[in-house]
Structure 1
């Protein structure tokens, strides 16, 4: 692990170590009466699907394969560490003035969880909350993620907020909480959803689209050639999903779904609403026009050197890699 700019040796499961290190740092901030922002990113659940034995046993005992037990065991381990974080926040009296957010970066993966229509173990069917698509797709199941937020004594707990929101809305929301009234023009997208958290509003205006593009194409190919495939446009009511490719025999029009009535995307109603699709595609054209010039890395060749490995080798030769000492919590 890299800690404060230097490599250290660690023992244990990576997610446990990440949370322990973060908790030690948070404790320091608490003792110094300093405000803090902690961003704890786990690489779990991700391949290779290896979890602590105590977490995989529950699933292997029920017939899950080692790979699937590793996937779900990783999720259980994250849950345990979030619980550890919340308990320490309560113990250190930080829960009243600290906003806690839990979220993910993409939808369900098919690598460890199985596939639609499969049983992941006897009596345990594949589960994706009824959504279509998996990680890497522009479907709802590929991009919809949990977003749980807690601020004790400030926001009413136990509520589900249905209004469509995205990652770009987090900064404006936090800024409003902090009393920042003006954000840099043309640099910050999104809108504050603080009125939804406080309960002052039940919903926000349905006056924007959220765009998703898979963003993967062969190296050194022209991005504009991939503009019309593997993307989706979302509003509160509608989801338009573009074709995956130009191959013959595939749906060339794309698909349109009423997400209020058909959240599982079972009924393609694109033929019934041509005006809706036309309006959404026009907005997408503007989105692509604005974002395409920012794709500056497309023409940059991948470096053959691996800086992380070089740093590790240099430290190994010049002083070595010390053992990390876990903080006392």
Structure 2
């Protein structure tokens, strides 16, 4: 899969050059979660998947499940060749896109999560206040009290700390691979992060629609794809006329 994405991303970049669209196109390469799965097989042999040393992977509240890359390029508009280490998240995309496109966010929806990242994209040392980011993966059965899942696969993240499952604290700035629980050394941090998580939960719970519904045994899109591949084949990509 990675090789396929790499090949096709290269084709995209070549076409943007050919069509002279780089100065009019913002390209972002990112993922939605950490490594999917803990292991795989190659030629029948079990192999470990690359996690860059981070703890666990997709579906977990640890760094390995939620820390992802994001590469941005907009020729002539964004500064190139810089690394940004500030704590950002998917919730920052909307405001950033609004600024980049010159779109005014209506006053009625000004209360949005997220920040405008444009100043960081051009200056990685720009002022960026610390913040709390919340992770919660809990799913509950239909009719079950959601509060029973309040601390199911959850975390609070700040620039320095990650508080996981209401009990484990990691000093991410000094321990990015989450090897040592320091909750007993910093009880005041635990109390503070637990407090902000409690407040977040109370505010967001009325908005959650997260009852655990069973997946369908048959995925319609997979069935149609396999049928098309069997009956007509998958056509080659046709270059658009631009």
Give the TM-score band, short-chain normalised. 0.7 to 0.9
**Against the structure 1 CA distance between its residues 200 and 265, is the aligned structure 2 distance closer, same or farther, given a 3 Å change threshold?**
closer
Partner residue in 2 for 1:91 = 18
TM-score, normalization by structure 2: 0.82
Distance 2:162 2:84 in 1: 19
For 2:135, what is the secondary structure of its paired residue?
Answer: strand
Distance 2:215 2:55 in 1: 37
Distance 1:109 1:103 in 2: 14
Partner residue in 2 for 1:328 = 239
Task: Pick one of 202, 218, 222 that aligns with 2:145.
Answer: 222
How big is the shift at 1:138? 0.6
Task: Pick one of 208, 216, 219 that aligns with 1:295.
Answer: 208
Distance 2:49 2:90 in 1: 27
Larger Rg: 1
Partner residue in 1 for 2:120 = 196
Contact 2:85 2:124 in 1 (8 A): no
Distance 1:113 1:162 in 2: 31
Distance 1:107 1:325 in 2: 31
How big is the shift at 1:134? 1.2
How big is the shift at 1:172? 0.4
How big is the shift at 1:199? 1.8
Matched, 1:260 2:187: no
How big is the shift at 1:261? 0.7
Matched, 1:241 2:164: yes
More RCO (CA 8 Å, sep 6+)? 1
How big is the shift at 1:236? 0.5
Partner residue in 2 for 1:129 = 52
State the aligned residue count. 228
Q: Deviations over 1:262-287 (max 9, x none)?
A: 10111111011111111111111111
How big is the shift at 1:209? 0.4
Partner residue in 1 for 2:79 = 156
Runs of 4+ in 1 over 4 A off after TM superposition: 111-114, 301-304, 306-309, 321-326
